[in-house]
């Protein structure tokens, strides 16, 4: 039983909620490796994907997830929509709501926009990333990837490195990994640490060698240049030298440490391209694979609630 109407963030989820999603996603990960991948779990339901910000992986995987479960999936091209003509987010939401969707998947550049929208519609809303606030399905797919490769999701040391301040991925992961009782370290330049970081219950350092010491998981983040309005780093070359992940810096972590990145990657800026492609260390492709499974699970659980509401 999943007690939530929407999936807006990890902050609202309990340990049990997280495990419920991951356990169901594990089944879908198996299904996705079969030749026949189609089920009727969402048959008859309408899923609308509204992306107000660019996306490759997230949009594609929500679409594949819905289709594999039999939903009617529609992608709204928000650049081409009435938003460009000045319609507000709420007007767009109400218009779509009148078409009776069952699932709305929303990405928006403003923190809190997805929650606002969820208050105006009758269907289940999934946050596909809002500003620098949360990206819950990313944290869930990261968690599933970690659990599969480490055999557990607790008592691990996880270094989250790079542009923490602008990253909804980092925020959602901090909530999730903290709830599952892991040791979380934030590593990056002081200019890219969020304000109030000392209150987050995590360790913080600007030294990569110290931050990676003994880590089981090294999670790299993209430099979010589109959210920077000034000089946060000296230069990309200098950034790579101090905070870019390469073999030498990774040698501070445990010998069996895995390397993660949510994508899209800036190769040669936050991560060495060869290391990112090294299947003995990098689980970046598995993260993408688990993304589909986690999104299938989340949509199934939310629609079970819808069906209960209307029963
Ligand atoms: N794809 C992730 C996000 O949408 C990470 C990134 O863009 O750097 O937040």
E-strand spans in 247-309? 258-260
Atom index in ligand 1 nearest the CA of residue 262 equals: 5
Rounded to an integer, what distance in angstroms lies between the CA atom of residue 294 and that of residue 139?
10
Q: Is residue 129 lining ligand 1, measured as CB closer than 6 Å?
A: yes
165 lines ligand 1 (CB under 6 A): no
Q: How far, in Å, is the centroid of ligand 1 from the Cα of 309?
A: 33
Beta-carbon contacts of 79 under 8 Å, excluding residues fewer than 6 positions away, are none
pLDDT value of position 234: 80
Pocket lining: 262 vs ligand 1, CB cutoff 6 Å: yes
Do 70 and 43 touch, CB atoms closer than 8 A?
yes
User: Does the beta carbon of 133 sit less than 6 angstroms from any atom of ligand 1?
Assistant: no
CA-135 nearest atom, ligand 1:
9
Ligand 1 geometric centre to CA of 41 (Å)? 28
DSSP string computed for 181-241:
T-EEEEES-GGGSPTTGGGSSSEEES-HHHHHTT-SEEEE----GGG--S--SS-HHHHHH
- Say if ligand 1 is within 6 A of residue 107 CB: no
Q: What is the pTM of this model?
A: 0.96
Kindly tell me the number of DSSP H helices and DSSP E strands found in the chain.
Answer: 11, 9
Q: How far is the CA of 36 from the centre of ligand 1 (A)?
A: 30
**Distance between CA 193 and CA 196 in Å, rounded?**
9
Decide: 130 and 168 in contact? Cβ < 8 Å: yes
Q: What is the pLDDT of residue 241?
A: 97
Q: What is the pLDDT of residue 92?
A: 86
Shortest-distance atom of ligand 1 to CA 167:
9
Ligand 1 test: best mutation among 9, 59, 135, most atoms within 8 Å of CB? 135
Q: Provide the pLDDT for residue 226.
A: 83
Cα 112 to ligand 1 centroid, rounded to whole Å: 16
Cα of 311 to ligand 1 centre, how many Å?
A: 37
Please state, in angstroms and rounded to a whole number, the distance separating the CA atoms of residues 188 and 234.
13
Cα 166 to Cα 109, 110, 235: the distances in Å are 11, 12, 17
Strand order in the sheet with 46-51: 72-77, 46-51, 103-108, 124-130
Mean pLDDT per 10-residue segment, the chain (311 residues): 95 98 98 97 97 93 98 86 72 91 95 94 97 97 98 98 97 97 97 90 96 98 84 88 98 98 96 98 98 98 78 57
pLDDT, residue 231, reads: 77
Q: Which protein residue has the closest C-alpha to ligand 1 atom 4? A: 129
Which pLDDT belongs to residue 294?
Answer: 98
CA of 267 to the centre of ligand 1 (A): 15
Report the Cα 71 to chain-centroid distance in Å: 22
Distant-in-sequence, close-in-space partners of 89: CB < 8 Å, separation ≥ 6? 52, 83, 108, 113, 116, 117
Q: How close is the Cα of 226 to the center of ligand 1, in Å?
A: 11
């Amino acid at each position: 039983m999943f007690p939530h109407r929407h999936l807006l963030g990890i902050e609202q989820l309990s340990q049990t909620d997280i495990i419920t999603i991951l356990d169901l996603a594990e089944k879908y990960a198996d299904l996705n490796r079969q030749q026949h991948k189609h089920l009727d779990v969402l048959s008859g339901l309408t899923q609308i994907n509204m992306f107000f910000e660019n996306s490759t992986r997230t949009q594609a995987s929500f679409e594949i997830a819905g289709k594999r479960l039999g939903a009617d999936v529609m992608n709204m091209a928000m650049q081409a929509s009435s938003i460009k003509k000045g319609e507000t987010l709420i007007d767009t939401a109400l218009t779509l709501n009148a078409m009776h969707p069952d699932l709305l998947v929303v990405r928006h550049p403003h923190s809190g926009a997805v929650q606002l929208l969820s208050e105006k519609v009758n269907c289940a809303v999934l946050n596909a990333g809002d500003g620098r606030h949360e990206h819950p399905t990313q944290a869930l797919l990261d968690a599933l990837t970690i659990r599969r490769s480490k055999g557990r999701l607790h008592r691990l040391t996880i270094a989250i490195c790079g542009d923490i301040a602008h990253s909804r991925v980092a925020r959602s992961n901090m909530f999730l990994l903290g709830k599952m009782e892991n040791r979380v370290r934030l590593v990056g330049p002081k200019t890219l640490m969020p304000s109030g970081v000392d209150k987050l219950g995590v360790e913080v350092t600007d030294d990569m060698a110290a931050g990676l010491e003994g880590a089981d998981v090294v999670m790299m983040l993209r430099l979010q240049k589109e959210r920077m309005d000034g000089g946060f780093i000296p230069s990309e070359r200098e950034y790579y030298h101090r905070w870019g992940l390469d073999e030498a810096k990774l040698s501070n972590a445990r010998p069996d440490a895995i390397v993660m990145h949510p994508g899209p990657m800036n190769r040669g800026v936050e991560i060495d391209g060869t290391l990112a492609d090294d299947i003995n260390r990098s689980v970046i492709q598995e993260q993408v694979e688990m993304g589909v499974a986690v999104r299938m699970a989340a949509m199934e659980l939310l629609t079970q609630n819808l069906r209960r509401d209307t029963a």
